């Protein structure tokens, strides 16, 4: 999202460059040829190529039939009707009927042939995009606004489907028609035919110029649609803030600004399209006009028969529509090409490389979690920025619960994200029971480590499904009850309209922050994981509930190795030892009491009081 | 988020599907058409001009064959006679027609695009503005994905209709009319047959519209489902990864995507059916007319020349049926989308803006204002009373802490005061003025609420703070950040206050986001500040900073603090303990701490949790 939708929208703000968030700069991509881009669709088109080619062939045949029908009409009028031959009239009408039926059936057949396959291509591309996005590194998602991703999965793919349905076929059909028309024209009168050939070269030049410009503008429009999508999404996600501060007017104004920008781009697109369309209309007409004048002179000179001239010109006029249509067919193709380009920008992003250990998982003795000289810097952070974690060493003993305490922004949450490899360490190693996590298969790693995030996200599914997600399908009703009990969530869950079967999440009942947090905690513990990572798991609970959850959680923590990010003494109480994270390293490790005595920073973080002890 | 567990309407009975689930909000009858009309009405003149331009352009195009005839009939003999005039005239005429048709084409495309884009701009704005005034409650049920779908894919359907529809519709109407008239003029009989053939065509169109309308409605719902799932996954990508949801999500997405694929294919097939049907009717009619005409020629009741001309026109009569099909196709698609949009626009905002605003009385001295809940009763629309008749007076400048179990009604109290909802009965008064009588700007100068989820919008940190006061200077923004202790971490971000929260290195933790949210509130400088569990992610120093800010920067303001963390409560002048929508304890914390009331219990537990 480049353009800030918020009130103080300041267009001159250097932090908000005019171009979209996409890390790829579309315009500077060297020599992007629409054809080359569109060819990338081939893997998706391949499975339906038979039907697509058949459909194109049928379209050509149907177009030819459409050309034949007028000929039959002429024959009917000139022949049987003029001769008053009733048999011939019947025959002619029958031919006409048969041709008509054939034409109708072929037209329908073409559409029937491509209907399902094209919808299928669109759906497959969308599924692939979704699957891909689920597997791209978290860092990728940090960088891309979700509206940009969404618009790629919706409007862009619709453009691609429309391209396959229409321009692809008709560029071919009309191309063939034009070619055949020219052959016919040249064979009728080659000198007049040559006159009609003169506009071809300038038109090709104009078209290719147009293509480049139109492509750039189309791209801009698509990016702006993505930005608009982001604003709409944020306006809902942040609706409480908008309302709490009464900012819906300024929000609407910002939205308007953005949509006006899109409006401008679309008008520019229309201007380009209008221009090319006008040129493609005028230039061939001029040639036809020239041919008409020359032909008339030739007829007058007796070099040409009037009949030939009429035939020649009617052929030329019949080619008018195929030629004119090239303009918008090219425009649609160009839009499809930029849409394809946008699509593949995401598809080309590197997935997390899979690093399954070559040998069977080592069953080293329990050693807990070891951080060895861990360095981490966000992949997109500026070069000169200091790493978030800078040579961090920490050992969580097997079965131990370690609290992680640190100032705001010290990297606690970042550290927790490294354990299940949501981010990859920049340097150093993390060992689980002696096994380097960088060499473990991610799925196996994530089945060993369970996390309760700072932000308790619930998905649109039942309470039970949301909790059992944490257990790889191995847990059932008893485990669910146990986990809910640990998180002290059984009480409110049972009071929900349908108990644990109540749908929650975005498309369900919305729960309070404390309730969501307890469900997220239940999700983390339901699978009895070997390693547990809890990021400030009790922040939204009231004192009574917190105390009860702590009591129950202690039981769970006894059997697992856990890292708990703590902001308050009450959470620290869960832990056997505490580690203080400061300046990207572990500054101190010890019990709560020890650190209170020995570390000024720790004392400050826990009590909020600066005075020396 | 809210204490909604006990207050949300019970799930609808299974035989009564929820319109939200089906993505099928009811719109009053005729709303779709009315919406389209109201969108277009402002552009009536330009549509007329565009139609006229198209008309003239068609005439210029049709002049071509006439010029050919003229050149051969007149130009050739004249040229032979040495008179170059007619040939020159033809040359000039052709040149004129060519340039004119190109020029008019240009004018039309641009004019139509302007109408089209203006309408879309208008529609997008209407959707967005309306969505913004709808209640939080509504959005919780409607989901961001559906709103995205309404303002992107559904608007896109209308774009398709408008960008090609106008040209097609005008072309179709023109050619049907003109050719039917020509046929009637040539021969009443044949003309009548041609007119009669419109009956089955109309039936076909009716049938197609009915079926396509259904399919497109389904398609619009389906794509909205896809978008909702997509958005949900992207917004929750961390837990998706950590809990290995990828495969399960693939399957769920596939099901939704397939539903869209099916309806998409169905729509294309409906079109194929229409094309076959209409072509069959047209071609049969042509064959029939030829046969009948031929017999009448044989009988002598019809001139051969007339038949010849009629036959040529007949074929052209039906040329536009494909274009009609395409028009109907985009029309039905747009109509289905507009129905959904009309359903959204028909939603009444929960808290309508007043038409007879009252001003807040001017206040000398301390900036706080008095808050009164006057016999307020609140129940969600479908039952579930949350606040049974509730009276409360908060004097100006008082800091009130509200505590109580989940579902006790604390958040509802906060939301009524912030006017996220209006009370079912009774009034909420700010310095004696009913909140319903205040304009939005007045209300927000008076009351600001900071909620638990501290969402950051795309943009810089400074811009996010400035939501509190859009016209704030950088100094004021920094001052607010400093007052809440957020200045240090913001300064250490890669670009300081100009760090884009979604870009390079702009990762901001939940605690930091809450600090930014507080800075926002400080900057807004309201008379009444509501903190709805707004400190949950703060660490102890963060909490201290908030308390300090309330003691200094916000001194004299009225404050309502909904909190479960008693450290925030300690600074309050007064504590309310709520239970089932009632106040069960009310007094200064020092008084409530003793004895064995709820608050005393909470306080003891909290003390225990602070063991240091």
Contacts of A380 in chain B (CB under 8 A): 503-505
> SS3 string of B524-536?
HCCCEEEEECCCC
Closest partner residue to A282 (CB to CB) among B99, B118, B512 is B99
Residue B351 lies in a domain: no
What CATH number has the domain bearing residue B280?
A: 1.20.1560.10
* Region B304-310 average pLDDT: 75
Residues of chain A found within 8 Å of residue B468, distances taken between Cβ atoms = 245
Contacts of B576 (CB under 8 A, 6+ apart): B392, B400, B401, B402, B403, B583, B585, B586
Is residue B16 one of the residues assigned to a domain? no
What percent of chain A has pLDDT above 70? 91
Per-residue pLDDT tens over the stretch B476-492:
999 999 988 889 889 88
Q: What is the pLDDT of residues A207-265, one digit of tens each?
A: 888 988 999 999 999 999 999 998 888 888 888 888 887 777 778 888 899 999 999 99
Query: Is the CB of residue A542 less than 8 Å away from at least one CB of chain B?
Result: yes
Maximal CA-CA distance, chain A: 122
A81 and B CB contact within 8 Å: yes
Confidence tier at A28 by pLDDT (50, 70, 90): very low
Which of B310, B345, B380 is the C-terminal boundary of a domain? B345
Q: What is the pLDDT of residues B136-155, one digit of tens each?
A: 878 888 888 889 989 988 99
- Among A517-531, A547-561, A566-580, B550-564, which stretch is predicted with the lowest mean pLDDT? B550-564
Asked if the structure places residue B356 within a domain, the reply is: no
**pLDDT tens figures, A174-207:** 888 888 888 888 888 888 888 888 888 888 899 8
Q: Say how far apart CA B256 and CA A292 lie, in whole Å.
A: 59
More confidently predicted of B176 and B376:
B376
Q: What is the pLDDT of residues B209-234, one digit of tens each?
A: 999 999 999 999 999 899 989 988 98
DSSP line for A6-40: STT--TT-TTS-SS-S-SS-TTTSTT--HHHHHHT
Query: Domain tally for chain B?
Result: 2
> Residues of A numbered 361-400 whose beta carbons fall under 8 angstroms of chain B's beta carbons: which are they?
378, 380-382, 385
Could you report the per-residue pLDDT of A339-352, keeping only the tens digit for each?
999 999 999 998 87
| Per-residue model confidence as pLDDT tens digits over B113-127 | 999 999 999 999 999
The alpha carbon of residue A592 is apart from the nearest alpha carbon of chain B, in Å, by 8
What pLDDT is recorded for position B13?
42
pLDDT at B366 over 80: no
Q: A474 is written with which tokens?
A: 């191995």
- Within a domain: residue B440? yes
Residue for token pair 């489902």: B225
Same domain? For B254 and B381 the reply is no
Q: Among A269, A504, A542, which would you mutate to test the B interface (most chain B Cβ atoms within 10 Å of its Cβ)? A: A542
Q: What is the mean pLDDT of chain B?
A: 84
Calpha distance A315→A233 (Å, rounded):
54
B20 in a domain, yes or no? no
Residues 208 through 227 of chain A touching chain B, CB cutoff 8 Å: 225
Q: Look up residue B446 and give its two tokens.
A: 């008076």
> What is the pLDDT, as a whole number, of residue A360?
53
In order of A138, B311, B492, the CA distances from A428 in angstroms are: 20, 86, 25
Q: Is B258 exposed, middle or buried (0-12, 13-18, 19+ CB in 10 A)?
A: middle
pLDDT at A8: 34
Å between A354 CA and nearest CA of chain B: 14
The answer to whether residues B96 and B158 belong to one domain is yes
Beta bridge partners of A371: A394, A430
As beta bridge partners, residue B486 has: none
CB pair distance less than 8 Å for B144 and A506? yes
Q: Is A112 on the interface with B (CB under 8 A)?
A: yes
Per mean pLDDT, which range of A274-283, A406-415, A600-609, B374-383 is the poorest?
B374-383
Looking at the fold, whether B56 and B190 belong to one and the same domain comes out as yes
A587 touches chain B (CB under 8 A): no
Which pLDDT value is given to residue A2?
36
CA distance B384 to B387: 9
Contacts of A516 in chain B (CB under 8 A): 1
Q: Tell me if chain A has a CB within 8 Å of the CB of B413.
A: no
Please report the pLDDT score of residue A594 as a whole number: 92
B327 with B449, same domain: the answer is no
The pLDDT score that the predictor gives to residue A533 is: 94
Total CB pairs under 8 A between chain A and B: 604
- Nearest chain A Cα distance for residue B425, angstroms: 22
CA distance B170 to A320: 20
Distance from CA of A365 to the nearest CA of B (A): 25
List, as ranges, residues 53-92 from B with C-beta within 8 Å of A.
64-65, 67-68, 71-72, 75-77, 79-80, 87, 90-91
Contacts of A263 in chain B (CB under 8 A): 117-118, 120-121
Partner-chain contact B539 A5, CB within 8 Å: no
The residues near B261 (Cβ < 8 Å, ≥ 6 apart) are A119, A120, A122, A123
Residue B148 lies inside a defined structural domain of this protein: yes
> Considering only alpha carbons, which residue of chain A is nearest residue B521?
A245
Q: Is B379 helix (H, G, I), strand (E, B) or coil?
A: strand
Task: Give, as one character, the DSSP assignment of residue A563.
Answer: E
Q: How confident is the model at residue A356 (pLDDT cuts 50, 70, 90)?
A: low
- What is the per-residue pLDDT for A612? 43
| HEC sequence for A243-287 | HHCCCHHHHHHHHHHHHHHHHHHHHHHHHHHHHHHHHHHHHHHHH
CA geometry: angle at A13 spanning A12 and A15, to 5°? 140
Say which of A281, A306, A568 has its CB closest to residue B76.
A306
% of chain B surpassing 90 pLDDT:
26
pLDDT of residue B361: 86
The confidence score (pLDDT) of residue B64 equals 74
Instruction: State whether the Cα torsion B236-B241-B243-B248 is positive or negative.
Output: positive
From CA A584, how far away is CA B407, in angstroms rounded? Answer: 41
Contact residues, chain B, for A125 at CB < 8 Å: none
Phi, psi of A505 (to 5 degrees): 85, -170
Q: Which residues of B touch A546 (CB under 8 A)?
A: 609
d(CA B512, CA A455): 13
3-state helix, strand, coil in chain A (%, to 5): 65, 10, 25
Q: What confidence score (pLDDT) does residue A384 get?
A: 78
Nearest to B409 by CA among B565, B578, B559: B578
Cα distances (angstroms) measured from residue A194 to each of A203, B146, B337: 15, 57, 50
Residues B40 and B170 in one domain: yes
How high is the pLDDT of residue B35? 92
**Which of A187, A84, B65 shows the shortest CA–CA distance to B73?**
B65
Question: pLDDT at position B254, please?
Answer: 95
**Residue in chain B nearest A299 by alpha carbon:** B76
pLDDT in tens, A48-98: 999 999 998 998 888 777 777 767 777 777 777 677 777 777 888 888 889
Are the Cβ atoms of B287 and A596 closer than 8 angstroms?
Answer: no
**pLDDT of residue B420 exceeding 80:** yes
Q: What is the pLDDT of residues B491-544, one digit of tens each?
A: 888 888 998 887 544 578 888 888 898 898 889 888 999 988 888 888 888 888
Residue A439, judged by CB atoms within 10 A of its CB (0-12, 13-18, 19+), counts as middle
Return phi, psi of residue B461, to 5°: -60, -45
Residues B278 and B186 in one domain: yes
Q: Which of B335, B327, B330, B346 is nearest to B32 (CA)?
A: B335
CA A119/CA B262 separation, integer angstroms: 7
Confidence of residue A27 (pLDDT cuts 50, 70, 90): very low
pLDDT attached to residue A366: 84
Instruction: Assess if residue B209 is contained within a domain.
Output: yes
Q: Which residue of A has its CA nearest to B523?
A: A245
A26 Cβ contact list (under 8 Å, min separation 6): A216, A219, A223, A338, A341, A342
CA distance A440 to B318: 68
B177 and B236 share one domain: yes
Task: Report the pLDDT value the prediction gives residue A547, as an integer from 0 to 100.
Answer: 84
Using CB atoms and an 8 Å cut-off, which of residues 345-364 of chain B contact chain A? none
Count the residues in chain A.
613
Exposure letters A73-110 (e unless 16+ CB within 10 A, then b): beebbeebbeeeeeebbeebbebbbebbbbbbbbbbbb
Q: Does A106 touch chain B (CB under 8 A)?
A: no
Enumerate the residues of chain B whose CB falls inside 8 A of the CB of residue A412.
509
In a domain, B243, yes or no: yes
Give the best residue of B17, B19, B85, B239 to mutate against chain A (max A CB count within 10 A).
B239
Residue-number span of the structural domain to which B421 is assigned = 371-609
CA distance B13 to chain A (A): 11
Extract the tokens encoding B577: 């303990």
Please, what are the domains in chain A? 179-348 (1.20.1560.10), 369-607 (3.40.50.300)
Mean pLDDT of chain A: 84
CA distances from A195 to A62, A297, A301, B248 (A): 30, 14, 18, 64
Query: Residues B420-433: what's their mean pLDDT?
Result: 90
Same domain, B265 and B409: no
B270 in the same domain as B378? no
Residue A194: other Cβ atoms inside 10 A: 12
Rounded to the nearest angstrom, the minimum Cα separation between A271 and chain B is: 6
Distance from CA of B241 to the nearest CA of A (A): 7
3-state secondary structure of B358: coil
Of B573, B550, B554, B577, nearest in space to B564 by CA: B577
Does the pLDDT value for residue B385 go beyond 70? no
In SS3 terms, A409-443 reads as CCCHHHHHHHCCCCCCCCEEEEEECCEEHHHCCHH
Q: Does A285 touch chain B (CB under 8 A)?
A: yes
Would you state the pLDDT for residue B610? Answer: 65
Strand order of the β-sheet with B528-532 is: B447-450, B528-532, B558-562, B399-404, B574-579, B582-587
Q: Which conformational region is residue A391 in: left (phi greater than 0), alpha (psi within -120 to 50 degrees), or beta?
A: left
Tens of pLDDT along A466-505? 999 888 777 889 999 999 999 999 988 998 888 899 888 7
Please count the CA atoms within 13 angstroms of the CA of B63 that sit on its side-chain side.
20
* Cα distance between residue A287 and residue A192, in whole Å: 9
Same domain, B208 and B95: yes
The residue among B281, B269, B165 whose CA lies nearest residue B208 is: B269
- Alpha-carbon span A11 to A18, nearest angstrom: 8
Cα A401 from chain centre: 40
Angle, in degrees to the nearest 10, between helices B188-196 and B155-186: 150
Q: Are residues B375 and B462 in the same domain?
A: yes
Instruction: Please check the confidence at residue A1 and state whether its pLDDT lies above 70.
Output: no
Q: What percent of chain A has pLDDT over 90?
A: 38
Does B392 share its domain with B517?
A: yes
3-state secondary structure A353-418: CCCCCCCCCCCCCCCCEEEEEEEECCCCCCCCCCCCEEEEEEEECCCCEEEEEECCCCCHHHHHHH
Q: Using CA atoms, how far apart are residues A200 and B582, in angstroms rounded to an integer?
A: 84
CA gap B189, A567 in Å, rounded: 91
pLDDT band for A288, please (50, 70, 90 cuts): confident
């Amino acid at each position: 999202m480049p353009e800030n939708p918020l009130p103080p929208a300041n267009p001159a703000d250097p932090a908000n460059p005019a171009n979209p968030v996409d890390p790829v700069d579309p315009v500077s991509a060297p020599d992007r040829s629409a054809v080359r881009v569109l060819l990338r669709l081939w893997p998706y088109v391949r499975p339906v190529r038979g039907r697509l080619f058949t459909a194109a062939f049928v379209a050509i045949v149907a177009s030819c039939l459409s050309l034949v029908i007028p000929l039959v009409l002429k024959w009917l009028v000139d022949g049987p009707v003029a001769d008053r031959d009733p048999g011939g009239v019947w025959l002619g009408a029958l031919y006409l009927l048969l041709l008509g039926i054939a034409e109708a059936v072929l037209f329908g057949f073409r559409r029937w042939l491509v209907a399902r396959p094209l919808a299928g291509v669109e759906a497959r591309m969308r599924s692939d995009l979704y699957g891909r996005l689920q597997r791209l590194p978290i860092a990728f998602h940090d960088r891309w606004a979700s509206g940009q991703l969404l618009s790629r999965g919706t409007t862009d793919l619709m453009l691609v489907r429309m391209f396959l349905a229409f321009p692809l076929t008709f560029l071919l059909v009309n191309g063939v028609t034009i070619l055949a028309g020219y052959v016919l024209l040249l064979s009728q009168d080659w000198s007049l035919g040559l006159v009609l050939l003169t506009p071809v070269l300038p038109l090709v030049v104009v078209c290719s110029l147009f293509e480049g410009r139109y492509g750039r503008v189309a791209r801009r429009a698509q990016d702006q649609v993505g930005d608009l999508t982001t604003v709409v999404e944020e306006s809902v996600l942040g609706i409480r803030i908008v309302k709490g501060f009464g900012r819906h007017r300024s929000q609407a104004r910002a939205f308007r600004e953005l949509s006006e920008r899109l409006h401008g781009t679309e008008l520019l697109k229309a201007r380009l399209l209008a221009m090319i369309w006008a040129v493609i209309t005028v230039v061939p007409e001029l040639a036809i006009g020239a041919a008409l004048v020359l032909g008339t002179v030739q007829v007058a000179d007796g070099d040409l028969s009037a009949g030939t001239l009429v035939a020649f010109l009617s052929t030329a006029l019949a080619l008018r529509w195929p030629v004119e249509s090239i303009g918008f067919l090219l425009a649609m193709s160009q839009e499809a090409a930029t849409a394809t380009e946008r699509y593949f920008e995401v598809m080309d992003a590197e997935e997390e490389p899979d690093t399954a250990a070559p040998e069977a998982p080592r069953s080293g003795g329990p050693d807990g979690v070891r951080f060895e000289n861990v360095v981490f810097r966000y992949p997109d952070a500026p070069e000169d920025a200091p790493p978030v974690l800078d040579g961090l060493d920490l050992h969580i003993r097997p079965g131990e619960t370690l609290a992680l305490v640190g100032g705001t922004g010290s990297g606690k949450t970042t550290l927790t994200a490294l354990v299940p490899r949501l981010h990859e360490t920049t340097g150093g190693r993390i060992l689980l029971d002696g096994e380097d996590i960088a060499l473990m298969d991610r799925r196996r790693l994530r089945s060993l480590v369970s996390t309760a995030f700072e932000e308790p996200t619930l998905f649109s599914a039942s309470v039970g499904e949301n909790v059992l997600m944490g257990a790889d399908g191995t847990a059932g009703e008893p485990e669910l009850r146990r986990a809910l009990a640990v998180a002290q969530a059984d009480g409110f869950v049972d009071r929900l309209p349908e108990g644990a079967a109540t749908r929650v999440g975005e498309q369900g009942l919305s729960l309070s922050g404390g309730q969501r947090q307890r469900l997220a905690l239940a999700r983390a513990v339901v699978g009895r994981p070997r390693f547990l990572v809890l990021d400030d798991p009790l922040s939204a609970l009231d004192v009574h509930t917190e105390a009860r959850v702590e009591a129950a959680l202690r039981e769970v923590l006894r059997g697992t190795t856990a890292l708990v990010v703590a902001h308050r003494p009450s959470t620290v109480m869960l832990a056997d030892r505490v580690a203080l994270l400061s300046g990207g390293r572990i500054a101190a490790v010890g019990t709560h009491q020890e650190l209170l005595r020995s570390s000024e920073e720790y004392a400050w973080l826990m009590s909020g009081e600066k005075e020396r002890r | 988020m809210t204490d909604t567990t006990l207050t949300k309407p019970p799930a609808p009975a299974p035989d009564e599907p929820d319109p939200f689930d089906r993505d099928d909000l009811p719109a009053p009858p005729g709303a779709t058409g009315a919406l389209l009309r109201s969108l277009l009405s402002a552009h009536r003149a330009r549509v007329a001009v565009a139609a006229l331009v198209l008309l003239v352009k068609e005439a210029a195009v049709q002049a071509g064959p006439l010029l050919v005839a003229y050149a051969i009939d007149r130009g050739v003999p004249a040229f032979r006679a040495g008179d170059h005039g007619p040939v020159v005239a033809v040359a000039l005429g052709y040149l004129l027609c060519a340039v004119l048709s190109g020029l008019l084409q240009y004018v039309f495309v641009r004019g139509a695009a302007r109408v089209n884009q203006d309408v879309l701009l208008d529609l997008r704005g209407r959707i967005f503005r309306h969505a913004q005034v709808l209640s939080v409650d509504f959005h919780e049920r409607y989901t961001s994905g559906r709103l995205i779908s309404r303002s992107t894919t559904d608007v896109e359907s209308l774009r398709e209709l408008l960008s090609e529809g106008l040209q097609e519709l005008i072309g179709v109407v023109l050619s049907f009319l003109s050719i039917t008239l020509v046929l009637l003029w040539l021969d009443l009989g044949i003309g009548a047959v041609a007119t009669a053939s419109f009956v089955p065509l109309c039936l076909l169109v009716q049938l197609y519209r009915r079926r396509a309308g259904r399919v497109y409605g389904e398609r619009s719902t389906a794509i909205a489902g896809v978008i909702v799932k997509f958005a949900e996954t992207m917004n929750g990508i961390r837990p998706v990864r950590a809990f290995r949801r990828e495969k399960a999500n693939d399957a769920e997405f596939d099901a939704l995507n397939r539903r869209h694929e099916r309806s998409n294919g169905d729509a294309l097939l409906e079109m194929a059916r229409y094309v076959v049907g209409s072509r069959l009717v047209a071609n049969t009619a042509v064959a029939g007319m030829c046969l009948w005409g031929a017999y009448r020629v044989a009988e002598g009741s019809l001139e051969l020349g007339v038949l010849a001309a009629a036959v040529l026109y007949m074929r052209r009569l039906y040329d536009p049926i494909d274009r009609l099909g395409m028009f109907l196709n985009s029309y039905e698609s747009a109509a289905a989308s507009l129905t959904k949009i009309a359903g959204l626009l028909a939603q009444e905002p929960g808290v309508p803006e007043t038409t007879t605003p009252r001003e807040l009385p001017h206040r000398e001295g301390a900036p706080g204002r008095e808050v009164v809940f006057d016999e307020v009763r609140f129940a969600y629309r479908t039952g579930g009373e949350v606040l049974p008749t509730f009276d409360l007076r908060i004097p100006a400048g008082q800091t009130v802490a509200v505590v109580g179990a989940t579902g006790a009604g604390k958040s509802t109290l906060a939301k009524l005061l912030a006017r996220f909802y209006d009370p079912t009965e009774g009034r909420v008064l700010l310095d004696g003025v009913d909140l319903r009588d205040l304009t939005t700007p007045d209300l927000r100068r008076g009351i600001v609420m900071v909620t638990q989820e501290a969402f950051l919008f795309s943009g810089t940190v400074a811009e996010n703070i400035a939501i509190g006061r859009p016209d704030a200077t950088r100094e004021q923004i920094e001052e607010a950040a400093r007052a809440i202790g957020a200045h240090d971490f913001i300064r250490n971000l890669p670009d300081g206050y100009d760090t884009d929260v979604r870009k390079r290195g702009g990762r901001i933790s939940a605690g930091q986001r809450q600090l930014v949210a507080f800075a926002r509130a400080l900057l807004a400088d309201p008379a009444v500040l509501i903190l709805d569990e707004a400190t949950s992610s703060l660490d102890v120093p963060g909490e201290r900073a908030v308390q300090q800010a309330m003691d200094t920067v916000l001194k004299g303001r009225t404050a309502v603090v909904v909190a479960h963390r008693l450290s925030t409560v300690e600074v309050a002048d007064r504590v309310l303990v709520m239970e089932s929508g009632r106040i069960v304890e009310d007094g200064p914390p020092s008084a409530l701490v003793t004895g064995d009331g709820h608050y005393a219990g909470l306080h003891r537990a909290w003390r225990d949790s602070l063991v240091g």
